[in-house]
Every structure is written in C-alpha cells, then in structure tokens.
Amino acid sequence: MPRGKRARLFTLLAVAAVLVGGVLVWVDTDDQQPGYTTNEAVIDVAAAPGSDDRVQLDSTMYVPEETPAPAVLLPHGFGGDKNSVTREATELAERGFVVLTYSARGFGRSTGRIALNDPDHEIADASQLVDYLAGRPEVLLDGDGDPRVGVTGASYGGAVALLLAGTDDRVDVIAPVMTYNDLGQALLPNAATGEPVDARTPAPGAFSEGGVFKQAWAGTLFSAGLGPALPSGPGVEALEPGDDPEENEDAALAPGAGEATLPVPGQRLPAGDTGSGACGRFTEEVCAAYTDVATDGVAGEETQALLRHVSPVSVTDRITVPTLLVQGTADTLFGLDQADANARQITDAGGEVSVIWYTGGHDGGVPGSQLRDTIADFLLHHLTGEGEDPGIPFAYDVQGALRTNGAPSVRTVEADAYPGLNSEPTERRQITLAGSEQVAQRPPGATPAGVSGLPGLNRIVANSSRLSGLFTIDPPGQSATFTSEPMDSQVLVTGAPTVTLNVAAASDAARGQDAVLFVKLYDVNPNGSRSLPGSAVAPVRIPSLPSDGSPVEVTVTLPGVVRPLEAGHSLQLVVATTDQAYATPTEPAAYRISLAGDSAVSVPLVPGTTMTSGWPTAQLLGIGGVLVAAALVAVVAAIRRRRSHQVDPELVDTPLVIRNLTKSYPGGLTAVKDLSFRVERGQVLGLLGPNGAGKTTTLRMLMGLIQPTGGDITVFGRAISPGAPVLSRIGSFVEGSGFLPHLSGAANLELYWAATGRPAEQARFEEALEIAGLGDAVHRRVRTYSQGMRQRLAIAQAMLGLPDLLVLDEPTNGLDPPQIHQMREVLRRYAATGRTVVVSSHLLAEVEQTCTHVVVMHRGTLVASGEVSDIVSAGGEATFRVDNPEAAVKALQETDGVVSARADVDVVHADLDGMPRSEAVAALVRAGVAVEQAGPRRRLEDAFLQLVGEGEHER
C-alpha cells in the first residue's frame, strides 16, 4: 500500500468503496414483478484458443414473454459478478430482450483467472457466449450461428462491449458505459503531452514517454481481484447451480492460490521476485505487470504492451457497428478523454458514434433510470428497427443547484455534433490568470502530500461538510497558484481546459531529473471557498529538466469537465508537487513555475439546446388564466402568481438579492430605505444594526409577511410576494417557535410539517436533526428541554425540507457560551452543504466568529456590507504573530504598499493600506519569517461602533 498511515487509510477507504459500496459495478436495488423467466446455467468454455483446458462461467439468461427476440449480452463491472447487473438485466428483459448475464472468469462462482479482458481469455469467453446465444431457440437469428445481439456494460463490462465488437463481427450494436480506451493511459496518464483539439478531452501523447501512476485507483482495482482463485482444466468438475465452490470436493484450490501478497505501490521487491506465487485470482502476467509499475511507478515495455493488448484501443480501428458511448463527468478513474479516444477511433473506422456525458462515473454513480431507458431505446432501435433513433451526436448533463429535497438539479444539453468529429472547431474562451513566478517545493518523502479527493468516494466527500475540507488540501509551499478575475457572466465549461506553463529546476536535486507535477483548476466562490470540479487532476511528467535552470514550456491538458462557472466566481489554477492519489517521487526538489504564452487558461464551450420534459409552464399558466377569468379577484391572484413564477435568468442560482428595498408606514415613518445587498451560496450572512435599524422589518419582507413600499426581493431569481412558490425554498425562525410542550420534539416537527401540506418524504427529518445535533433528545417532551435544546429544535424546524435559504432571527438568544458554540457549528455545517444562512443578531463577537459576511444597517439604511474580515480591517491595520519580529518588520517595511510596521513583543502590527493580508504573509514567508497567525487588528465590535456611533448599539 502507499507510504504512511494516512496514505494507507486513503487507499483502504477507496477499496471499501468497491467491496462494500459497489462503486465499479451496477447494483440491484429494485423489486419488480417479472414479465420474464430466468434460466441458470454453467457454460463451459475453452480456457484459451486451442487449449484443452476449460473454464466454467456461471450465467443467468432472462427470457421475455415473446420470443424469439434479439439478445443483449450484459457483462458486469470489475469486482462484481452476474448479480451486480440484475437491475439492468430485468429492465432490458421487460423491454423484450433476451438478456444473458454471467460472472466473468475469476469473479463470483466462475472459475479461471483474471486476465483483464485479454482477447484470448475474457473476450474469447464472450465470443463463446455469443455462440451459446446462437444455439438458443429464444434468440432471434440473423443467420446460421449469428444471433442478433447487442452488448452493454459499465467499466470493465463496457470494455468487453468494445473489445468484442472489434473481434466478433456478429455483434450488431454496443453501448459501453464509463469505460476506458487504453488502460495504460488511464492508469498512467501524462497530461503534458498531446495537443488540445477543440472541446475534446484529448488523449495524451506517446505512452513510452512515461505517465504518472494512479496508485490509489490501481490499489483499489487489484484489491478487488485478490483472494483464492477457482481452478480450471481437465478433470475439474463443472459447477452446477447451487454448488458452493469452497465445498466442491473436486474444486480444490489451485496451487499457490491462498492468501494474496501482491506488492503495493512504493514497495520494492527482491531482485527477480515478481510475486507470481501469490497472484490471488489474477494471471501471472497481470501480477508481473502490477509488480512492475507498483514498484517505482513506471511501466516497463512488457507492461506497456500488456496494457495495450487488453485495451479497446487495440481493436477500435475495426469497430463499425452503431455505438453509444456513455461517460461520467465525475470519474477520476476513466475520464472523458477515454470516451473521446474511443469516439475518434471508431469514427475513423467508419462507425456511427453517439456520445453522452452524464453527471456520474466511478466517483459519481451509475446512470439513472432515464439514461438507462435511453440506452435501452438505442439498443432496441438498432436491433429491431422500432422507434426513433435516440442516438444524438452529443449530449451532456449540467448539474446545477440543489433542489429543496437535497437532490441536484440536472439539465441536458444536446449539440449538433460531438466536438472534434467532422465539425467546425468548438469555441474556446481565454480566461486570463494573474500570478508571478513561484517556487514550489516537494518535501522529503513527498509527505505531507496534497489531497485532491478520495477516489471512488469523491461524491460522498464533496457532499459532506466534515470531509470536504480534509480531501482538497494543497500544503503550504508545495504549489504555485494563479487566479482569474471574477466572471462577469456564467461560463459553461464543457470539455478539457488547457494552459501553458514554464517549469524550471529551482534546486540541484531537480536539475536533469523528471519533474512530476499535478495541475488542477478550482472554482472559487465569491466568499473564497473553492471546489475542484470532478475532483479532476492533470498529472504531468516533464522529462529531464535542463541542468542550467532554464525553463521548459509545456502545454497541460486538464481533465474534461462540465462546469457552469457562475457570475462572480473565479478560476484558480494550482500546480502542486504532490498528490496522495498518485505515485510521486520521494526525493526533495524545488521548481520555479510561471504562466507562459498569454497567461490564460483556455476553456472549451459547446453550445447546444437545453432539453426539457413535461408540460410547458406557459401552457399551464394559460390554462390557469382561462379558468380564473370569470372573477376579478381570481384574475388579480393569477397576475400575482404569474409574477411570482417569472424568473430572472441571471439570478436563478443566487439565493438572495435585495434591491432598493423600502418600507414606509403612515405618519411618515420609514423603517427601511433604499436597502440593497446580495447573498451568495455557502455564505453565512450576519444582519447587524441597533434597535430600530430595520432588521426585523427586512426579514419579515423577505419571508413575504409584509409588502415593501418600494424595491424588490429576489430569491433564486424569483420575486418575493405573499404566497410566492419560492418561499418553499426558505426556512425561517423568527420571533419564537411556538412548540407544544406536552409533545416530543419529533412530534412537534411532524405536526409542523403536516401543516405545510407537503409530502412527508420531502421533510428530510433525519438530515435536519443530524445537522441540528439534537440526538436522542428529539424523542423527549419539549417541556423537559433546556433553552439551548429548544433553540436547536427551532433550527431543526427551520431546516425541514433542507431549504436553500435559512433565515434566523437571534438564534443564540438565551444560550450559554457552550450552547452558543454548538449553535455556531450548526450554522457552519448547514452553509457548508452549499446552502445559505442569514442571521440577525446583536452578539457581535458571535457574528464575527460565525458569519462569513455582514450587512450593517442603521436607521433603515445600509452603512456597510462585505466580508467580515474586510469590515473589521477597513482601516488597513493587521497583526501578525511571528517567530522573528525584527526580521518581519524589516521585510514589511521593504514591501511596496505597506505604510508602516512595528513590533510589539512577539507580534507585528502593520498598516497595509488596502493590501490583502495574504500578500503580506507571502512577503514574510519569502523573507524566511515563520507566520503563526495573521488577522485584522480591530474587532467587529470596534468596526460596528465606528459605523453606527457610540451608544447606539444594541444591548
């Protein structure tokens, strides 16, 4: 396994994702009334062409009600067996196909050893299964010995579809899912070779130049194939359905099978030891190849040849059947570049190719029911001629904001052509990056290493506020960072961005040696938080950096993604020297890294048509207008309803925008006057102001309880008015919760939710209670609750349905310090899920520790807004706790933009005059000063009093 406890835990968790979570296989979860019958069989096949040895494949055939019918061969993913594809098999059988599933050799109850889809082994097995289908009376034939058959499968099974189509001309149509083109390129990528072509995700250049080993994924895959192997050969009795291989007296373990002790990445074996005596269920050739690459992260010529031999790239020039390639945009194992290579090669061979990019993959999940229906429609059309061909040239899914039920919204965009295939060049946008030349260090042993995700579990990590911060880490000093200006409008990145860098050796250890770097492109929110789309990393191996320290220019093709960059967001390019998921050289080294060329990242754009389903909203509104036309009151209500449904497309993903909001009362009292501010996703915004500042009035208008006199409030692009549907996306706790004391907390929540009239399954009780942290106390009567527990129950009530916008008025009222601390963690956890929190509070110190942003009101008007740190440090004063105050003062005084600096014991105070503190910290680090802490010199309370005046703050 990888070096160090943390690295071992990293790989073990990924292994668990395969063995327990079924990341690489499709899992049966549905219970259906069958419209088909099933037949179990053990199919005896030749172990190899011309061999007398035999392999037994455990199979199940699903037979529809009407036969003869076209057949579908459905292989499983790596680490699974025939039961892993039960759901897909039953769905296809219900559509009228004869479906044959089977456990590949070395998996499930089938005998033989795993050869990684070797054409002479697993693919020859699949061809013999086509022979089997040709002999079945239930299967429709195109000719003697030629069944009408299609092949679909995911990952390992998807490669079977491609390899079989390239070797057996009886295959009529294929639909591979989230699979690979070249295992060598997939497991040892090198994104620094090859030239970008349009919006495609180009395959890297010559494999012989050496890639960067995906040690975490490789360890996961090989762990799934460890364990005792089932025997094959003359004299071995074939398994019968119901037999247990471990209890079959004639099925003794093959010599040397026992417990596997395969080498792990970074482990060096004694000379001449290939580990072949303990190959688990793998062939010795596969074990030798794994040993070769796991030892030092470099593949020898024999390993390269083997990986190419067992990959679809070896046969794609012979595939001419209709092909639907389905690839996930959340896949750090087999990225979009693998599907792109398959598409180009099959098209060049004369095949008809359709491509779909969906929001899943080995890190994001298997296709959902709608996409599985599309695959079935594609197979049905090409096997029977029925229905319209659903195989559009190119479609991609765009994941948007989370719905109120917590599920992400997804829209599908269809394009006229797949980028780069017989089409005009795709549009690319140049986004300028800023940043000077930087030095990035690789520490001894390459530890601590950077972390860009957890292979196989990235979707879970990304959706967990507790884990996401642990698995996107760039250790200080180990990377160079370049950042763009905020986007002025949404940019939908569709494909593989590219960037050109200059890299030079900055230490003697790096001169003349290969440089291994990891390039990634973050999406940075206005609040400074960042996310790594698809957890995608481009590993780069630059051979033999010049010994004289001169730079090498290299163009890096980043992994393909589909990512809408919202207005106000920035791009951040990070070039790191280590990454936990890859084999990294352990010798310390340093590199000088800068932007080359036009200092821009080139991002691809693929325009298309957004596809929708269901009744058009305009038609529904038209019908509603006709029905209410008879009564004037109903007409007015319809007009208001129509206004509430109107959407500002530029603000559809923005939680809250308040523009020129005014509320006046009779007698000349104006509670709120021309108030304007904006709140983004992930922010915790504190609404501050003295008594009478207009905070509560603003919140009541936000929730539609009172109408503003002027201006407007927009939530996710929809105007707020009494009864507006978008109010269902707001959860609130204002002016007391009103719980029934004789009922338990859970009963109170259920009663409240029932009063909303919304389905119980949308309440998300468990998630809300987990975030609020009430535990078993939720089952006790509310009369026994402390004030802190009541407040947390109120927060849980506001969180029911997991609303996208949470509005809380004084949530810490009556709480003691420990309870306030717990409440702070509750709000932070909620915002970390990508939602937004607005808090009105008079506890300024608490707001400073809880909120990311603040709006200060005074006498109904806005007096200040922005990040808490900006408000606090508005005067430019900053404090740094350092190890050498004298050196720090000297370094700051010599830095352009710093007005003054002075030492005070072990801290240094400086007037930065608007300079970001991060730049000052960087100047100190360059001067060799260790910075233990950096922050504003003032507190929020000081800034607040200055803004609203002494004596007018709330008590």
The DSSP code for 103 is P
pLDDT of amino acid 248: 36
Cα separation, 31 vs 35, in Å, equals: 12
Nearest to 224 by CA among 340, 63, 335, 84: 84
Backbone torsion region of residue 818, taken as left when φ is above 0, otherwise alpha when ψ lies between -120 and 50, otherwise beta: alpha
For residue 342, what are its two tokens? 């398959």
Which of 363-372, 845-854, 911-920, 932-941 is predicted least confidently?
932-941
**Higher pLDDT, residue 597 or 257:** 597
**Mind listing the pLDDT tens digit for each residue in 64-88?**
999 999 999 999 999 899 999 999 9
> Count H helices, E strands: the chain?
23, 40
For residue 417, what are its two tokens? 């052509």
For residue 341, what are its two tokens? 């290579």
Q: 1 pLDDT exceeds 70?
A: no
Angle at 514 between CA 509 and CA 519, to 5 degrees: 105
Q: 484 pLDDT exceeds 90?
A: yes
* Mean pLDDT to the nearest integer, 377-390: 88
CB atoms within 10 A of CB 145: 11
pLDDT of amino acid 31: 47
pLDDT of amino acid 946: 57
pLDDT of amino acid 949: 57
pLDDT of amino acid 396: 83
Q: How far is CA 626 from CA 636, 723, 728, in A?
A: 13, 21, 26
Helix (H) or strand (E) holding 38: strand 36-46
Q: 118 pLDDT exceeds 50?
A: yes
pLDDT of amino acid 388: 75
**Sign of the C-alpha dihedral, residues 459, 465, 470, 472?**
positive
Residue with tokens 């899992």: 27
Q: 268 pLDDT exceeds 80?
A: no
Would you give the distance in Å from CA 678 to the centre of its chain?
Answer: 27
pLDDT of amino acid 460: 62
* Mean pLDDT to the nearest integer, 802-806: 89
937 pLDDT band (50/70/90 cuts)? low
* Mean pLDDT to the nearest integer, 622-650: 52
pLDDT of amino acid 112: 94
* Mean pLDDT to the nearest integer, 831-846: 81
The DSSP code for 94 is H
Contact (Cβ atoms closer than 8 angstroms) between residue 198 and residue 426: yes
Instruction: Tell me the CB-side half-sphere exposure of residue 766, using CA atoms within 13 A.
Output: 1
Q: 521 pLDDT exceeds 90?
A: yes
* Mean pLDDT to the nearest integer, 45-58: 92
Q: How far is CA 357 from CA 140, 312, 360, in A?
A: 32, 19, 8
**Higher pLDDT, residue 576 or 207:** 576
Nearest to 106 by CA among 115, 98, 97, 93: 115
**Sign of the C-alpha dihedral, residues 172, 176, 182, 183?**
negative
pLDDT of amino acid 814: 63
The DSSP code for 947 is H
Cα separation, 72 vs 93, in Å, equals: 9
* Mean pLDDT to the nearest integer, 629-656: 62
Which of 430-444, 483-497, 725-739, 941-955 is predicted least confidently?
941-955
Share of the chain above pLDDT 70, in %: 78
**Mind listing the pLDDT tens digit for each residue in 201-252?**
444 333 335 789 998 888 888 877 776 545 444 333 334 333 433 333 333 2
**What would you report as the CA-atom Rg of the chain, rounded to the nearest whole angstrom?**
31
Nearest to 179 by CA among 372, 8, 340, 18: 340
Share of the chain above pLDDT 90, in %: 39
Which of 137-146, 640-649, 790-799, 859-868 is predicted least confidently?
640-649
pTM of the model: 0.60
The mean predicted confidence, pLDDT, of the chain is: 80
For residue 113, what are its two tokens? 């050893």
**Mind listing the pLDDT tens digit for each residue in 149-173?**
999 999 999 999 999 999 999 999 9
Which of 126-140, 579-593, 823-837, 871-885 is predicted least confidently?
871-885
Angle at 280 between CA 305 and CA 230, to 5 degrees: 110
Burial of 882 (0-12, 13-18, 19+ CB in 10 A): buried
794 pLDDT band (50/70/90 cuts)? confident
Cα separation, 376 vs 946, in Å, equals: 67
* Mean pLDDT to the nearest integer, 624-643: 47
Cα separation, 503 vs 507, in Å, equals: 12
Can you list the pairs that 613-619 forms with residues at least 24 positions away whose Cβ atoms lie under 8 Å? 617/645
What's the one-letter identity of residue 192?
Answer: A
For residue 490, what are its two tokens? 């949404």
What's the one-letter identity of residue 166?
Answer: G
Angle at 670 between CA 669 and CA 673, to 5 degrees: 170
pLDDT of amino acid 796: 85
pLDDT of amino acid 128: 96
DSSP assignment of 871-905: HHTTT-EEEEEES-HHHHHHHHHTSTT--EEEEET
Cα separation, 255 vs 427, in Å, equals: 59
Cα separation, 205 vs 634, in Å, equals: 67
**Mind listing the pLDDT tens digit for each residue in 324-358?**
999 999 999 999 999 999 999 999 999 999 999 99
10 pLDDT band (50/70/90 cuts)? very low
pLDDT of amino acid 465: 42
What's the one-letter identity of residue 287?
Answer: C
pLDDT of amino acid 948: 59
**Higher pLDDT, residue 259 or 898:** 898
pLDDT of amino acid 278: 54
Cα separation, 431 vs 435, in Å, equals: 13
Count how many residues are written for the chain: 955
pLDDT of amino acid 459: 65
